[in-house]
């Protein structure tokens, strides 16, 4: 069994294998009603706990549907309803849950919660987003890019806005899948140096840029996300908006990218803030495929975790 904690902590050959497996799994169920079981019932007799300490639409529904299609059963738990939120240690929670379920997916605040869960669980633990990273999202993004425009290796990916948890996993993916990445953000909102240095040491180009137009020049993929994440204090909202206004992805900015460049957003989006509706609903946007691909990519992740 293996934990899926982060893209930079997972073997690149395994990541590559998961992407091709996800594509195969997706093809297998093309056109079927969503409740139809997968031909391969790899999670038959398996119970999966989905723990949420933050809100979620995509992660919650895609994991729940994915497990069920693979023949397993789910239990969706909210952190605040569990003893976890009332003083029981994460380690003890991990030990107990491991006696009831075969796999744990957790969305939480501090990365240390995820790591402690993984250290003490005797079943695989999957990172469904922490304040620091969001690896499942980026697995879906790589799958989405490659479905539309072929191999992502050597491509130029540009991130605009807050250098947040999603940006961090995208930087990890740059190192593991071999693409170059430019982060366009004000200096105070650039991603963590630790992640940037990690990717640079893998031999890919990581450019930190403050000018959005210059950053997007020649891009193959343009990505953005909310300016204020779930773990950010709402009091920073106004300051963030002022700092990031110039990084909004609009048609004029997209015009600096290659003509066949794609646009992605992990969602939920704030239309008219980090991205205009015209880009979200425009011909270069692949956001709905991206959201769908959470389902297929995570099935591949879960199979890998269980060695199936």
Structure tokens at 122: 């005797």
**10 in helix, strand or coil?**
coil
Nearer to ligand NVA, 102 or 162 (CB): 162
Residue 116 exposed, middle or buried by CB count within 10 Å (0-12, 13-18, 19+): middle
* DSSP classification of residue 221: E
Q: How far is CA 132 from the centre of its chain?
A: 11
For position 58 contacting ligand CP by CB under 6 A, the verdict is yes
| Residue of 6, 102, 225, 303 marked active site | 225
Q: End-to-end distance of the chain based on CA atoms, in angstroms?
A: 9
Kindly indicate which of the ranges 97-105, 194-202, 260-268, 299-307 contains the residues binding ligand CP, using the contact rule CB under 6 A. Answer: 260-268
CB neighbour list of residue 212: distance below 8 Å, 6 or more residues apart: 160, 184, 246, 247, 253
Q: Does 114 bind ligand CP (CB under 6 A)?
A: no
Look up 134 and say whether it is catalytic: yes
Of all residues in this chain, which one has the CB nearest to ligand NVA in the complex?
A: 229
CB of 55 to ligand CP, least distance (A): 6
Of the ranges 43-51, 168-176, 192-200, 262-270, which one interacts with ligand CP (CB under 6 A)? Answer: 262-270
**Whole-angstrom Cα distance, residue 144 to residue 58?**
15
Question: Cα angle at 170 between 245 and 149, to 5 degrees?
Answer: 95
Q: Which residues bind ligand NVA (CB under 6 A)?
A: 164-166, 225-226, 229-230, 266
CA distance 211 to 214: 6
Residue 177: half-sphere exposure toward Cβ, Cα within 13 Å: 30
Question: Of 10-18, 28-36, 57-65, 279-287, which part binds ligand CP (CB under 6 A)?
Answer: 57-65
- Tell me the number of residues near ligand CP by CB under 6 A: 9
Q: Respond yes or no: is residue 239 known to be catalytic.
A: no
Catalytic residue among 46, 266, 296, 303: 266
Q: Which is nearer to ligand NVA, 125 or 266 (CB)?
A: 266
Is 132 annotated in the active site? Answer: no
* Residue 219: contacted member of ligand CP, ligand NVA, none (CB under 5 to 8 Å, by partner type): none
If the CB atoms of residues 204 and 227 are measured against ligand CP, the closer one turns out to be: 227
- Cite the active site residues: 107, 134, 137, 225, 266, 294
């Amino acid at each position: 069994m293996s934990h899926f904690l982060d893209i930079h902590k997972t073997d690149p050959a395994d990541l590559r294998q998961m992407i091709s497996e996800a594509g195969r799994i997706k093809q297998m169920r093309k056109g079927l009603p969503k409740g139809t079981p997968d031909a391969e019932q790899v999670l038959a007799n398996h119970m999966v706990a989905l723990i949420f300490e933050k809100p979620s639409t995509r992660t919650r529904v895609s994991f729940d549907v994915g497990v069920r299609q693979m023949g397993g059963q789910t239990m969706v738990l909210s952190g605040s309803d569990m003893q976890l939120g009332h003083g029981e240690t994460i380690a003890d929670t991990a030990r107990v849950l491991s006696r009831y379920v075969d796999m744990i997916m957790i969305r939480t605040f501090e990365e240390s919660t995820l790591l402690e869960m993984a250290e003490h669980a005797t079943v695989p633990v999957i990172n469904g987003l922490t304040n620091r990273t969001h690896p499942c999202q980026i697995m879906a993004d790589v799958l989405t890019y490659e479905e539309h425009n072929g191999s992502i290796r050597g491509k130029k990916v540009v991130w605009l806005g807050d250098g947040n948890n999603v940006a961090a996993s995208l930087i990890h993916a740059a190192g593991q899948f071999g693409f170059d990445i430019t982060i366009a953000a004000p200096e105070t909102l650039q991603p963590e140096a630790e992640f940037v240095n990690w990717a640079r040491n893998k031999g890919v180009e990581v450019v930190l840029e403050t000018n959005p137009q210059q950053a997007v020049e020649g891009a193959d993929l343009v990505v953005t996300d909310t300016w204020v994440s779930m773990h950010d204090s709402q009091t920073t909202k106004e300051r963030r908006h002022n700092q990031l206004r110039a990084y909004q992805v609009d048609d004029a900015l997209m015009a600096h990218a290659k003509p066949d460049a794609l646009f992605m957003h992990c969602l939920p989006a704030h239309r008219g803030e980090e991205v205009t509706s015209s880009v979200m609903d425009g011909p270069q946007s692949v956001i709905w495929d991206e959201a769908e691909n959470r389902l297929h990519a995570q099935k591949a992740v879960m199979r890998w975790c269980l060695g199936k």
